[in-house]
Every structure is written in C-alpha cells, then in structure tokens.
Structure 1
C-alpha cells in the first residue's frame, strides 16, 4: 500500500510554460492565458492527499484535467510546478533510471482502450510487465496465470485480444496491472468504453478484488454514478481546477456549486445514502434494569413517546411511555418486563430499502451496525428530506405521503425528528 500526496501542482502546455507560471498563479483565466500567450492551462494549484488502501476517484467533464493529473503521479507528464510524494519518495527528485524503476515497481496503469499488444497472446500480455522487470519466464507465467484466474479468464491464456470481447480485454488489462504487484493502480477511464452491463460487472470485479488486495487505486471517470459507487473519496475538477473534494456523502449532501449540482441531478440518492444518514442518536436510552420512576420522569421531561432500551451497546427493544407508566403503577423494580420488540435495519441499508420499510409500517425503526450494536433511531422526516429529489420517479409515491406516515408513526416528538443526526457515520 502507498499514500500519495500532490501539492500545488500547475501544468501549462506550451513552449515557455515557466514564463507564464506567475500569471497562472495570479489567477489569469484559462481563456486569457491562451489568447495572450498561446499556452494552455492544464492544471492550476491542485493539492490532494490520497490515503493508502483507498479507492480515490478523480472526475470531471472532458477537458477538466483529470487524465492530465493522473499522469503526473508517475511523471508521464512533468508538472510546471508543484510537488509529488509517494510514501517517503519525492517523485520529482528521481532521475531517469530511478523513475523507470519507480514506475515498474510502484505503479501500474489500466487504460481506457485496454492498451493490449495485438500480437501477443493473453498470457503474454498479462506477463509483459513482469518481463520488463526481468522476471524469469516460468515465474512470470505462473503469476500471470494466477491473475487471469482471479479476473475470471482461466482458459483464455492462448487467445489473442481480437478474439475477446471488450469486457474480457479490459479484464486482461486489469490482470496485467495486478500481476506486477504494484502498490498503486492508476485507472484512467478504465471502464468507460464498455457497455453498461459489462461496466457494472467490471465495477463489481474491482470492488471484489479491492476487498482482498487493499491496493491504493486512483480511478478516473466522468460518470458520477461510477464515482459514487467506487470511491472512498472523490475529487471533482473543472477547467483544470479542483472544485470539490470529499466523501461521496459530502459531495451528494453539500455540492460546492452549480457545476457539481449539475452532476447530481439524476443521481438516485436512495442507492448512495444509507440508514446512518437518516438516523438520530436518542436523547435517552434506558437499560432493562432502569427504574420505572426514573424512566417516566426522563421521558416526561423530554416529551418522548418512546425510548430504545439497551443492554450495553446492543438493542433490547423499545419502551413506550405508556408501558413505563404501567411498570411504575405496578411497582415493578425495573422495566425489563415491559420492553417490546423493536424492528431494526442495518446501518448499511440504502435509503431505498429503508423507504420500503417505512411505507409498510409506522412503527419506529432502530439502526444497528455490523456488530448488531445500536447506532440510533431512524428519522422519518430525514429520510424524506434526503430522498425527496428522486422519490416520485423511484418509489411512485409522493414525499408528502411518506412524511405523513412519519407524523402518524410518532417515533419521536417533531423537534427530535428534525434535529441533526448525532449518530456515528458508517465507513464509506
């Protein structure tokens, strides 16, 4: 694994880029720079920190600078100014031979148009990077065979690229990149030439492999759905400048400007956001051993109609105010016999799934994590607010109808349903 840091990267294309660097730093527009100097501003003051073991997506429209930027990481394109570090290596300080070794050992690339050698069979294509590294034939063929099996191409070793479908060719390209055991994969529009079904399959393949390999992957795309599905973090470029950077949730919930918002207009939020985004931490969580008098007092003070009951960090059920009052009237020592079952959804459940549960029941819903520990209580109002942009098209019901269900469900007083969620967030 490896961490990538790029700082204050500028790229000006033309015969005298250094002469116009200060103008770019001072904010001269791309159009003015081209008109006055004949030089093209490729990148302006880009700084990114890419965590090891993550999938980092760089996206933007054609001409935004995303492919230019990724080629700076291994200096296939030299920056006009700026710094590039991979772990403790100052990439800008590497000489020709050091840079060649760095490219061979540290980074592999997967290209949009596959980049396969038409005169080499599939096995030799996958083994090519190992051949360049000087690995002996038996070992490189063994490793190439292993990675062909990993991407589902066992039995195609002696075929040639023209005999394979586009999706199969891209799998060969991915196997070739993985065979060198490089810590970083640079994937430049790797799936954009594929039809939608094959593209989805390749995304699944990448996510499956990443769960096993934990590589540092930099993925270039112009497709926001792909970015949201794959990326741990996303950087959006426009005209060679960084417009917004953050988690998929950051981008979706707080777009920086109209340019980013335009990308989001057709996104199905219900498939991107999950239950954690729509849950509130409870104001009061008694245990099964809590005294009825204490519970009744706290619920009355805070205007609560119900409270989740916990045993340590795990959810035991739900206690209504009426049940707590019955326990008090009966002289019960604790509330354990008055706790009712409480339905729950996993924190990873998409809001489209949550919405389906909401429409079939007005009962409160708890949210639990992968260890079955309590995270919070689902806020019906928050679900509506988050999913409303796609609700009519995706669910066939009105937002008002769901909101009304939330009101009659009575999961908490209205002010509690409306307040910001205080629950922990799930990993992206």
Structure 2
C-alpha cells in the first residue's frame, strides 16, 4: 500500500566524519569505541515497516536513540545512511522544499511539551497546520473545529492555551495534527509530561480516535505499560539499536534478551496476555474436558483465570471450528503472574496477593 512507512538500515552519527564512523560501525566497531573519539552513534542500522492503520511504538530508556529515529522519519534530521519511504516517496532523496511540503500535508507531529502558540486561540492553534498549507480561513476554521471535537474539546475553540489544563493543551496539539488530515502521525513522548490519570485518559482518547480514523502512527515512549496498551507492534531500542520488534505478547512471552526481559518485570501481564500466548500446544489426549467451559485463542488472561477457577482441569482452548488447539493448566496461569510454584488464584485477586498465595 502507498501509505506504508518503511525505514531501511537507518544510521545517525553525530561528530566528525560521520560517514566514516558509520562504515566503522558496519565493520563491527563498538559504539563506545566511537564515543572515545568524540563521536555519538545515536541510531545504528534501524529497519522496520509500519503498515497503514498501525500504531507502531518505539520504546527505550533515555539516550537509546528513539527520538532521533523519529526525527529522521520526517526529515527533521538527515540520516547518515539508510532510507525512509512513505507514500511512494523516498524521503531521504527529497529536497528541503519537497520535505517541507511532505511535512505540511502528509506527516504531522505531536510533541511532548504541546508547542502551542500562547497568543493564538485554541481554534487558531488547531488550524495552524492548515494555515501553513494556505487553506482559506473559513475552511481551516471548520476543519479545526471538527478536529477539536474529535479530540474532546468542543466548546473550547475561543479559549487561550493558558486557560487549559496540561491534558487539554495536549488535546489541542493532537487536534492540530488531525486537522491537516495527514496520513502519518509521529508522536514523541506526547503523554509523558502529563499526570498519570490524565495520561491514561489521553491513551484512551488516542485508542478511540484510531478506531475511527485508522491513521498510521509512530509513538515514542519510555513507558512499557504505555507501549503495551497502545502498540500494535513494539520496537525496543538500546544504545541506538533496535533489539526486538514484535507484538506486546511477543515482548512479554518471548523477550529477545535479558535487557528486554528486564523491562517486562513490572508489567501487568493480565492486561496483555491471551489464551493463545499461554496455552500448551503439546496435546496428550484427555488433558482437558471439552464438554465443560472452554476458551478461545483470543480470550483475555483475566477471563481465562475466571474459567480456570470454575473447572477442575486444564482449560481447553478451541478455535472457531471448535477444534482443540491447546490447553491451559492452572499452574501455568500462576506462573505467568510471576510465581511458577504458586497455587491457583482467581483472576480478581490482586497481583501482590497472587504472589503471596504462591509463597
């Protein structure tokens, strides 16, 4: 599809003779060795594809390279090497004028710190991208009003930014991105400056908007719980490299290395895992009674716990054709809550009590 986003072997090196430093990286020179020479390898050989309508989350600690990677996707930073392709264009081959045109019409960015104009009203802020495009005033006011309504700010059009809470200001930034009707949204830690409750509210807002608009979104975060909640696919970065790409279940159940596994220790797995991700597919005849209550591969973890509490044997997992595709022993459910030797607990039991029950 034309609106697929592709990053191919992207490098970004800061310092003297960056192309030469990139070649050294390709030959296996360590990033720390370059740093000793005053060279920073911010992004190293990053490749991924984001399908139309996906939320692709890039996560990692500060300094991992995720924000630098994002800025190469819309040409705010020129890659030292590699290619970015979107909507049938190789953005790395465009002139500065052509890149500005792409950013004005096809790619919108939502920043961490709102970046609102204090001397413009909420509606004028939301319409700013359309003003840059040269859209007539009446049309841009109408489109801005619709975007503000989508973002939950109907009735606030004439207000000033300093009259809004932090969460509401971020909604204005989101509305500004939506008003241009860009196919690709780049969101750089857009919710990280918000209080936890407001942050969750904004996550809910984005999920609901995505159901309606089906935008292609690249979302940067350092919070794994946020990544798990929002991402159709997640890329984990460390020291400039992408160390794993996969679904939330992939990251939780099959971490690529100890670094990725360390991120998942405090994640509420019950909100992410399904029967398919925890079931045993090594079937041995009569391990489960299919005449009793059963689960489907997509059955959420908490619901699976409830079923397990109501039956006296492993839960049978049936596909759409009612074929047995796996079983889930009670002990495995407790294992995924963090205690391999524990006793089964009901899904409503808080995690700390579940662990205590297995002590």
Q: Indicate whether 1:82 and 2:64 are aligned.
A: no
Q: What residue in structure 2 maps to residue 420 of structure 1?
A: none
Aligned to 2:247: 247
1:304 paired with 2:273, answer: no
Cα contact 2:275–2:328 (8 A) shared by 1: no
Q: Does 1:52 align with 2:84?
A: no
Contact 1:364 1:377 (8 Å CA) reproduced? no
Q: Distance in 2 between matches of 1:204 and 1:363?
A: 37
Correspondence for 1:24: 25
SS at 1:114 equivalent: coil
Query: What SS class does the counterpart of residue 72 from structure 1 fall into?
Result: helix
Residue in structure 2 matched with residue 354 of structure 1 by the alignment: 304
Q: Secondary structure at the match of 1:396?
A: helix
> What is the SS of the residue equivalent to 2:210?
helix
1:382-427 CA distance string (max 9 Å, x none): 42333335989616246987xxxxxxxxxxxxxxxxxxxxxxxxxx
After the TM superposition, which residues 333-348 of structure 1 pair with which residues of structure 2 at under 5 Å, given as runs?
A: 342-345=292-295, 347-348=297-298
Distance (Å, rounded) in 2 between the aligned partners of 1:374 and 1:194: 46
Structure 1 match to 2:194: 194
Distance between the aligned counterparts of 2:326 and 2:255, measured in 1? 26
Which digits, 9 at most, give the CA deviation of each residue in 1:218-244, with x for residues without a partner?
000000000011111111111111111
What SS does structure 1 have at the residue aligned with 2:44? strand
Contact 1:59 1:235 (8 Å CA) reproduced: yes
Contact map agreement 1:343 1:364 (CA 8 A) in 2: no
Q: Secondary structure at the match of 2:338?
A: helix
Alignment of 1:158-237 (within 5 A): 158-237=158-237
Q: How far apart, in 1, do the equivalents of 2:132 and 2:324 lie?
A: 51
- In structure 1, what is the Cα distance between the partners aligned to 2:157 and 2:136? 18
Larger displacement relative to structure 2 (134-143 or 383-392): 383-392
Deviation at 1:121, TM superposition (A): 0.5
Which of the two has higher C-alpha Rg? Answer: 1
User: For residue 34 of structure 2, what is the aligned residue in structure 1?
Assistant: 33
Preserved contact between residue 151 and residue 205 of structure 1 (Cα < 8 Å): yes
- Tell me the equivalent position of 1:379: 328
Tell me the residue number matched to 1:337.
none
Work out whether residues 11 and 46 of structure 2, in 8 Å CA contact, stay in contact via their aligned partners in 1.
Answer: yes
Given that 1:114 and 1:173 are in contact with CA atoms closer than 8 Å, whether structure 2 keeps it comes out as: yes
Name the SS for the 1:194 alignment partner.
Answer: coil
Aligned residues: 350
Report deviation, 1:158. Answer: 0.8
Q: 1:363 & 1:240 partners in 2: Cα distance?
A: 47
Residue 186 of structure 2 aligns to a residue whose secondary structure is strand
Write the distance in 2 (CA, Å) between the matches of 1:35 and 1:106.
40
Q: Post-superposition shift, 1:274?
A: 1.4
Give the whole-Å Cα distance in 1 for the aligned partners of 2:202 and 2:161. 17
Whole-angstrom distance in 1 between the partners of 2:65 and 2:189: 13
Matches of 1:306 and 1:272, distance apart in 2: 24
Map Cα deviations across residues 32-58 of structure 1 (whole Å, 9 max, x no partner).
Answer: 21222x221111111111111100000
| TM superposition shift of 1:74 | 0.9
- Which whole-Å CA distance do the structure 2 matches of 1:180 and 1:114 have between them? 17
Tell me the equivalent position of 2:8: 7
Gap change, CA 1:196 and 1:256, over 3 Å in 2: same
SS of 2:153's equivalent in the other structure is coil
Helix, strand or coil: the match of 1:218? Answer: strand
Q: What is the CA–CA distance in structure 2 between the aligned matches of 1:84 and 1:276, rounded to whole Å?
A: 34
Deviations 1:138-165 (A, max 9, x none): 1111111111111111111111111100
> Cα offset for 1:281?
6.4
CA 1:305–1:84: 2 relative to 1, 3 Å? closer
- CA drift of 1:259 comes to 1.4
Aligned match of 2:123: 123
Consecutive unaligned residues in structure 2, runs of 5 or more: none
- Displacement of 1:360 in angstroms is 4.0
Q: Assess if the C-alpha contact under 8 Å between 1:366 and 1:374 holds in 2.
A: no
